[in-house]
Structure 1
Amino acid sequence: MHRIWLSTCTLLATAASAQTVPYPAQPVHLVVGFAAGGPSDIVARAFGDHAAKPLGQPIIIENKPGANAVLAAEAVSLSKPDGLTLLAAATNHTMIPALYAGRIKFDAAKSFIPVCTLASSATVLVVGPSLPVKNLAEFIGRAKAKPDSLTYATPGQGSSPHLATEQFQRLAGVHMVHVPYKGAAPAVTDLLGGQVDLSFATVGSVLPHLKSGKLKALAVAARQRSALLPDVPTFEEAGVKGYSIDTWYGLLAPAGTPAGAIQVLTREATEFSRSAALRERLAGAGLEPANVCGDAFAAQIAREIDSNTRIAHDLNLKAE
C-alpha cells in the first residue's frame, strides 16, 4: 500500500511538472514561404534574433519557397499544434483561397491562429520617366482622359500589386493596361527604363529609386503617411477615399496551439515592434514595425480574403 501511495505521488508530481514546463521547451521552427533575402525572410530572421534570448530557445528559420507560399502554409497547418512550428506569413496568404480554390489541403483562415503582425510595407503608386505627372489628381485626370493608354507593371498575374491596382482602378474610375512580370525586380527595371508607365509597389522594392529621383511617388496606400516617405500623401489625403493596401508580415500558428504559447508569442511580437534597434534594421529594407494581434489580426485577414476573392472572381484569376 505504501508503494502504491508513493507511485501515485510520483505520477502526480510528474504530471504537475509537465504542466508547468514553460513554453517553449524546445527550439521553435519559423517557416518562410519564400527564398532567403526577401522581405518575409528579413522579418522572420529579425524576429528570430529578437525573440530567441527571452524565449530561451533558438528560433530556426526554414525557407520553404514554392507556389506563392502555399507549400509553407500547408506544412505548418499539418504540423503538431504545440507552438514549436510557426508560419512567417505575409499579405499574399489572403490570396490563397481565391487563387488555389479546390487545390489546397488547408483553410487559409480556419487552419491557423493569427498571432500578430510584425512589420508592414505600404503600397506606393510610383511613376517612371515616361509619365511626368506632378500629383495624384493629375495622374487620375490623365488616366480618365485616355482609357487604356497607361501601362502598369506588377510582379505577376494575381500578385499583391496586381490586385492592389485593380482595387484602385475601381475606386478612381480609371482603366489601365496590365503588364505582368516574373517578379518585382524586372518590373522595376522596365519602369526605370520607361517601358511601362507606373507601378503599385511596396515601399521597400522602390525606395532607393525614390531617394535617387529616378522614380516619383504620388501617394501611399496606408492609413497614415509612411515614416520612410514622410512627404508623400496618403491616397485618402490626395482624394481617393477608403484606399489602404498595406503589405503585412506576421506570425501564424497552427489551429489548436495552446493559449499559453500564443500569449508568449504575442508578448514577444509586441516587444519586437517597440524596439528602436529593430525599427532601424527594418527601415533598411523599406519596412516598418507593425503590431496588430489576436482578434484584430484575424478580422483583418478575413476582410482581405473576402476582398481578394471577389476581385479574383471578377477577373477570373487562378494560379497556374
Structure 2
Amino acid sequence: MTLSANPSIVALAACAATLAMALQPAGAQPGGYPQQPVKLMVGFAAGGPSDLVARAFADQLGKATAQTVIVENKPGANAVLATEAVAAAKPDGLTLLAAATNHTMIPALYGGRIKFDAAKSFTPICTLASSATVLVVGPSLPVKTVAQFLERAKAKPGSLTFATPGQGSSPHLATEQFRKLTGVAMVHVPYKGAAPLVTDLLGGQVDLSFATLGSVLPHLKSGKLTALAVASRQRSALLPNVPTFDEAGVKGFTVDTWYGLLAPAGTSADAVRVLNREALEFARSPAVHERLASAGLEPQGVCGEPFAAQLAREIEANARIARELNLKVE
C-alpha cells in the first residue's frame, strides 16, 4: 500500500519552514556567518570613544546574528598590541578590530618594528562613526579663547602639558601639526586611551588636549572642561558657540577622526557581506544615531573599496607629515 501525504499538511509544513527561516536573525542561517562568538578588539582603554563605538556595534551585530559579540580591550602602544593580535588571527571573521584614525599613522611612527602591514594585513569593512576634534583645557589652565591660550603658551615656552591617548595617536599628530602652525612649545604626556586622559585633565594633572569630541562632551556640557575651538571646517552642531580654528585665527587647521571595522586579510566573502550589511544598518539606525550623538559622535558608513582607498590615502599622507615633523616612536 502506498501512503500519500495530505496536501494541506504539506502546505502547512512548508509555510512553517518558510516562517521559521524568516524569523531567524539575519546572518544566522544554517552554515552562515557567524557560527561562533565574535571577538571585537579595541586598542584603547574602556570608556573612550573607540570603546563606545565598538560596544554599540557589538550590540547591533549580536542582535542581528544571534551570536555573542565580545568586546576585548587591549590597550598599549597606540593600539599596536590589539592590531597585531587581529592581524595574526584566523581570517574567519571571528576576530575583528575596532580601528580608528590612528591606524593609518602607525606605519610612519613605528616603521619595521610592527608585525603587520596597516593596509595589506587587513580587510577593510566599514567606517562606523566620526567625531570632531576639539581643543579643550582643564581647570589648571584658566583661558577662554585660542588667543589667550597662545599668548600664555608663548610667554612661557614648555610650561604647558598636553595629553594624548598615546604616542603617535591622531590627537598627538594633530597637536604636533598645531605646534608647527603656531610655534608653541609644550610637553607631551601620553596615556593609554582617552578615558584616563580625561580623568587627569579634569583633575588638573595636565593642562590641555586635542581631544575627540566624543571623549569630552559630557564634561564640556557640565562646565568642568572648556572648549576653545573645533578642528573642522564648520562649527559643530553639538557646540554651536565654539568657533572653528579658522574663525579663531589659526588658518587651515582641520582634523577628521573616524572609527571603523577591520578584519584580518583573507576574511571570507560571507563574513564580509554580513559585516558590511550590519555596519550600514548601524549607520542608518535612529537608535544608534541617538546613542552616538549623546557622546559627540556621528554614525558613518564608508565601506569596502572606498574605505580601502581612504586608508591608503591617509597612510601616505601621514607618512609625509611624520617626515616633515620628524615624528617617530622610540
Give TM-score, length-normalised by structure 2: 0.76
Match of 2:38 in 1: 28
- Pair 1:177-2:218 in alignment: no
Contact kept in structure 1, 2:107 and 2:117, CA below 8 Å: yes
* Secondary structure of 2:177 counterpart: helix
What amino acid maps onto 1:256 in structure 2? G
Could you tell me which of 230, 249, 252 is aligned with 2:259?
Answer: 249
Distance change >3 Å, CA 230–CA 98, structure 1 → 2: same
Structure-2 separation of matches of 1:150 and 1:299: 41
Residues 18-76 of structure 1: per-residue CA shift (max 9 Å, x gap): xx943334433322223443332222121111122323433233333333222221222
Other-structure match for 2:217: 207
**Aligned residue type for 1:151:** L
Distance in 1 (CA, whole Å) between partners of 2:73 and 2:216 is 24
In structure 2, what is the equivalent of residue 68 of structure 1?
A: 78
Residue number in structure 1 paired with 2:290: 280
Partners in 2 of 1:37 and 1:187 — Cα distance? 11
Is contact 1:152-1:176 (8 Å) kept? no
Structure 1 SS opposite 2:105: helix
- Give the equivalent residue in structure 1 for 2:136: 126
Matched, 1:166 2:172: no
Q: By how many angstroms is 1:185 displaced?
A: 5.7
For 1:179, what is the secondary structure of its paired residue? strand
1:95 to 89, 105, 111: 105
Deviates more, 1:60-69 or 1:86-95: 60-69
State the shift of 1:238 in Å. 4.4
The separation in 2 between residues aligned to 1:85 and 1:179, in whole angstroms, is 33
Deviations 1:174-233 (A, max 9, x none): 323223144556655665566765321122332233223343212212344334323323
How far off is 1:112 after superposition? 1.0
1:39 aligns with 2:56: no
Percent sequence identity over matched residues? 71
Question: Gaps spanning 5+ residues in structure 2: where?
Answer: 1-29
Count of aligned pairs between the two proteins: 299
Aligned ranges 1:1-320 → 2 under 5 Å: 21-128=31-138, 133-136=143-146, 139=149, 142=151, 146=155, 148=157, 151-155=160-164, 156-170=166-180, 172-183=181-192, 184=194, 188=198, 191-192=201-202, 197-238=207-248, 240-320=250-330
C-alpha spacing 1:57/1:201, structure 2 compared with 1 (3 Å) = same
Amino acid at match of 1:154: A
1:99 is displaced (CA, Å) by 2.6
User: Could you give the per-residue CA deviations for residues 274-305 of structure 1, whole angstroms, max 9, x where no partner exists?
Assistant: 22222232234443322222233223322332
Give unpaired runs (5+ residues) of structure 1.
Answer: 1-19
Between 280-289 and 246-255, report the one with greater CA deviation.
280-289
The verdict on how the C-alpha distance between 1:37 and 1:146 changes in structure 2, with shifts beyond 3 A counting, is closer
* Secondary structure at 2:113 match in 1: coil
**3-state SS in 1 of match to 2:111:** coil
C-alpha separation between the residues in 2 aligned to 1:189 and 1:76? Answer: 29
